[in-house]
DNA sequence: CGTACTATTGATAGATATCAACGCTGGTGG
DNA sequence: CCACCAGCGTTGATATCTATCAATAGTACG
C-alpha cells in the first residue's frame, strides 16, 4: 500500500497500552493495517438502518458516529481517531442504529467477520480489543455526563482535554497542540450546543488564555486551568499505568508507551518534536 | 430462597428475546437467580474508584449507574430494571469509573468471575449476554442523543417511552401504566435538567393529556402522542422480532415472549391483564 | 404529631438558541 | 487569471428556555 516507509499501525500502539503482544500477534495486526483505503472528507461510511458492513479500523484522519433526528439536528456520539475501531460486533446486529462518517480525509480498513474471528483467537489481541471496547463505553458515559451536566464552557474544555490526550497517545499531538479537524458546527453537534454559542464559548476560552485556536490548530496554553475548568479526570481513557503517575495538574508530557523494553521509543520524540512517526522496534 | 412459587427469572426472558436457550442453559440461569440478596432502597452498591466487586444481576427493583461531580451534581447514565446485568467485564477493570446504587428496594445477585466464565461457556447464553451488552450500549447512545439534542419535554417523553417498553418486556407493566420508582429529582439527574423544571415539564405532559402520574404510577394516556413528541423509535432496544411487527403508532400490547414452547406463560398474563405480580415486596 | 423528604408554585436571573448580517477564505469554472 | 460561490467564522439583537431562589403544601413514616 501506498504510504511510504510504513509507520507502526496505531492499532498496535493502542492495544499495547493494555496488553503485551507477541511478535506473531503484532505482525498480524500490522498485516491487517496494510489494507487501508482512502476515504474522502465528509463522507458517509455507514448509514443508520444499513446492514452493518463489518467492522472497521481508522488508520488516519477523523471519523465519527452520530445519530440524526427528523429535524436534521444531529448528535455526535463518538469521535474515532487513528487506532480506533468500530462495529466490532457487527455480525451480531442486523441493522445499524447510528451512522458513521468522516470529518477529514481518512484511511480506513474494513474487517470481515472472518478477520475478526481470527483476531479473537489470539488471546492478547482479544483481551486488548475488549479493553478498547471498555474504554469506548467509558467514554460514552463521560460524554453523557459532559452533555448532561456541564456548562458550555466546561463541555468544550472537557472535549479538548480528552482529544488532546487521545491524540497524544497515538502520536498525533505536536507539543501542546493538535490539529482540530472540526468546524464550530461540528463542535456544536458534539456538545449539544448551537454553533453561535460554540463560537462565543471559544472566544471566552481564548480570553481566559486557556487555549489558542487558529487555522485548525488547537494549542493548549494552560493545561492545568483547562483541566480544572472541565473537572477532567483522564482515568476513563485508560491511557496506561505509566501515565497514571503523572501529577494531576502538570502539563502531561508524552511518556513511554508500555513496550516492555524499558527504553523510550521514537514515538516520543515524534509527539514532542513534531516529526512523523517512524517504524518503532519492540523487543 | 424466599420468593414463594418462583416466577421465571427475568434474565431468561431477557436472553430469550435474542436467542433460544437449551433446557440446560435455562436451568443454569434459573439456578443463578436463586442467590438473590435484598438491598435497601437508596443504597450504594458500588462506588466510583472501588475495585469492581464482580458482576451483578438485578432481579427486582430499580437500580442505576451514575457519575458524580465535585459540585455534588450527578448524572445518571443507566437505569437497571429486573433482568439487567452490570459489570460483566468487571474482571478486566481495576477501578470502577462510575457508581451504582439502588432507587427502590432491590433483589440483586452477585456473580463471581467463575460464574461468568461458566455462563460464557454456554454458546447461547454467551451470545445472549453479548446482545444484552449491545443493547446497553445502544441505549447509552440514545440517551446521549436525548440529553444532547432534545427539549426538556421531549427528554421526559423519551425516557417514559423507553421505560414503559422495557418494563412491559419483563412483565412489570400493568396495562398502560407502570410504577415509576423515581422522584422528580431523580428524573432531573437522568435528563440533565433541574428538578423544578422537571416538575413543570411533567405538568405540561399532563396538560397535554399524554400521561398521568399520581402516587408513583405513570400511566400513558396517549402512546402515539408521547412517541411522536419524543421521536421515539424502539429499535435500539432490540425487543425482538415479535415486537417489530407492531404498527408504529399503536399502543403496544404485551406480546408473547419467545419461550420456545409456543404457549404464553404466566408472566405475560400478568402484564396484559393488569393483575399485580404476586409475591413482590416493595417498600 | 413532629420530621424529613417530595411536590408545587411564583418571581427572577442567567444561559443559550435563534435570526440576521457581514467578512473571510478556498475552491471552481469561465 | 479573475469572478463567483459556498462554507465557515464572527458579531449583534432578541427571544426562549431553563436554572436558581424562596416559600408553601402535601406526604410518608416513626
The whole-number Å distance from A148's CA to C15's C1' is: 15
The DSSP H or E segment spanning B66 is: strand B63-68
- Min Cα–Cα distance to chain A from B147, Å: 6
The whole-number Å distance from A183's CA to C27's C1' is: 18
What whole-number distance in Å separates Cα of residue A211 and Cα of residue A225? 10
Show the cell assigned to B41. Answer: 432502597
Q: Which residues of A touch B (CB under 8 A)?
A: 65, 67, 69-70, 73-75, 77, 89, 92-93, 95, 97-98, 127, 130-131, 134, 137-138, 140-145, 147-150, 191-192, 231, 235-236
Mean pLDDT over residues A47-73, rounded?
95
- Min Cα–Cα distance to chain A from B109, Å: 22
pLDDT at residue B241 in the model: 52
pLDDT at residue A245 in the model: 36
Smallest CA-to-CA distance from A138 within B97, B54, B67 is with B97
Smallest CA-to-CA distance from B41 within B203, B242, B216 is with B216
Half-sphere exposure (CA, 13 Å, Cβ side) for A216? 5
Smallest CA-to-CA distance from B50 within B119, B116, B97 is with B97
pLDDT reading at A182 higher than 80: yes
CB B138, CB B238: distance < 8 Å = yes
User: Minimal Cα distance from B230: which residue of A?
Assistant: A69
Largest alpha-carbon pair distance within chain A? 54
pLDDT at residue A249 in the model: 44
- In this prediction, the residues of chain B whose per-residue pLDDT falls under 70 are 1-7, 241-283
- Min Cα–Cα distance to chain A from B104, Å: 23
Cross-chain CB nearest to A131 (options B70, B75, B92): B92
B188 CB neighbour count, 10 Å cutoff: 22
A261 CB neighbour count, 10 Å cutoff: 11
What whole-number distance in Å separates Cα of residue A235 and Cα of residue A224? 16
B196 CB neighbour count, 10 Å cutoff: 11
Q: Bridge partners of B110?
A: B56
What whole-number distance in Å separates Cα of residue B3 and Cα of residue B271? 19
pLDDT reading at A165 higher than 60: yes
- Min Cα–Cα distance to chain B from A154, Å: 12
pLDDT reading at A4 higher than 60: no
What whole-number distance in Å separates Cα of residue B262 and Cα of residue A69? 38
What whole-number distance in Å separates Cα of residue B1 and Cα of residue A270? 61
- Inter-chain touch B75–A142, beta carbons under 8 Å: no
B105-150 confidence digits (pLDDT tens): 999 999 999 999 999 999 999 999 999 999 999 999 999 999 999 9
User: What positions of strand D are covered by protein, i.e. any atom < 7 Å from a CB?
Assistant: 7-13, 17-22, 27-29
CB A213, CB A195: distance < 8 Å = no
Show the cell assigned to B63. Answer: 437500580
- Inter-chain touch A69–B93, beta carbons under 8 Å: no
Burial of A245 by CB count in 10 Å (0-12 exposed, 13-18 middle, 19+ buried)? Answer: exposed
- Inter-chain touch A192–B148, beta carbons under 8 Å: yes
CB pairs under 8 A between A and B: 88
pLDDT at residue A275 in the model: 30
pLDDT at residue A90 in the model: 86
Q: Which of B143, B144, B152, B248 to mutate to test the interface with A (most CBs of A within 10 A)?
A: B144
Reported as a pLDDT band with limits 50, 70 and 90, residue A271 is very low
pLDDT at residue B8 in the model: 74
Express as a percent the part of chain A with pLDDT over 90: 80
**Residues in chain B within 8 Å Cβ distance of A143:** 144
Reported as a pLDDT band with limits 50, 70 and 90, residue A176 is very high
**If you search the block for the grid coordinates 407492531, which residue do you land on?**
B246
Lowest average pLDDT, out of A2-11, A258-267, B100-109, B218-227, goes to A258-267
User: B67 — phi, psi (to 5°)?
Assistant: -125, 145
Which residue did the predictor score with more confidence, B252 or A113? A113
The whole-number Å distance from A203's CA to D14's C1' is: 21
Show the cell assigned to B279. Answer: 409475591
A212 CB neighbour count, 10 Å cutoff: 14
Q: Bridge partners of A63?
A: A80, A102
Question: Given phi > 0 = left and psi -120 to 50 = alpha, else beta, which region is A17?
Answer: alpha
A64-73 confidence digits (pLDDT tens): 999 999 999 9
Smallest CA-to-CA distance from A87 within A98, A77, A72 is with A98
pLDDT at residue A49 in the model: 94
- Inter-chain touch A89–B144, beta carbons under 8 Å: no
What whole-number distance in Å separates Cα of residue A115 and Cα of residue A106? 21
Reported as a pLDDT band with limits 50, 70 and 90, residue A202 is very high
CB B83, CB B52: distance < 8 Å = no
pLDDT at residue B239 in the model: 87
What's the Cα-to-Cα distance from B93 to each of A124, A131, B12, B272, rounded to whole Å?
15, 8, 27, 41
Amino acid at each position: 500500500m501506498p504510504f511510504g516507509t510504513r509507520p507502526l499501525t496505531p492499532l498496535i500502539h493502542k492495544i499495547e497500552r493494555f496488553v503485551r503482544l507477541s511478535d506473531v500477534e503484532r505482525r498480524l495486526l500490522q498485516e491487517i493495517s496494510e489494507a487501508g483505503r482512502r476515504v474522502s472528507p465528509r463522507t458517509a461510511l455507514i448509514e443508520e438502518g444499513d446492514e452493518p458492513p463489518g467492522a472497521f479500523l481508522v488508520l488516519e484522519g477523523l471519523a465519527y458516529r452520530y445519530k440524526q433526528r427528523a429535524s436534521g439536528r444531529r448528535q455526535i456520539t463518538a469521535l474515532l481517531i487513528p487506532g480506533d475501531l468500530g462495529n466490532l460486533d457487527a455480525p451480531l446486529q442486523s441493522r445499524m442504529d447510528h451512522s458513521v462518517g468522516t470529518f477529514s480525509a481518512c484511511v480506513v480498513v474494513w474487517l470481515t467477520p472472518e478477520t475478526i474471528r481470527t483476531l479473537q483467537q489470539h488471546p492478547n489481541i482479544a483481551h486488548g480489543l475488549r479493553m478498547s471496547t471498555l474504554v469506548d463505553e467509558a467514554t460514552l458515559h463521560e460524554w453523557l455526563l459532559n452533555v448532561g451536566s456541564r456548562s458550555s464552557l466546561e463541555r468544550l474544555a472537557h472535549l479538548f482535554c480528552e482529544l488532546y490526550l487521545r491524540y497524544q497517545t497515538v502520536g498525533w499531538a505536536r507539543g501542546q497542540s493538535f490539529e482540530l479537524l472540526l468546524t464550530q458546527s461540528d463542535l456544536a453537534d458534539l456538545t449539544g450546543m448551537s454553533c453561535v454559542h460554540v463560537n462565543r464559548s471559544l472566544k471566552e476560552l481564548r480570553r481566559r488564555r486557556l487555549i489558542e485556536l487558529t487555522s485548525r490548530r488547537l494549542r493548549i496554553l494552560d493545561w492545568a486551568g483547562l483541566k480544572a475548568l472541565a473537572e477532567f479526570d483522564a482515568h476513563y481513557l485508560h491511557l496506561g499505568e505509566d501515565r497514571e503517575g503523572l501529577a494531576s495538574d502538570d502539563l502531561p508530557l508524552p511518556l513511554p508507551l508500555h513496550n516492555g523494553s524499558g527504553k523510550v521509543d521514537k514515538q516520543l520524540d515524534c509527539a514532542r518534536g513534531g516529526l512523523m512517526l517512524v517504524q518503532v522496534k519492540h523487543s
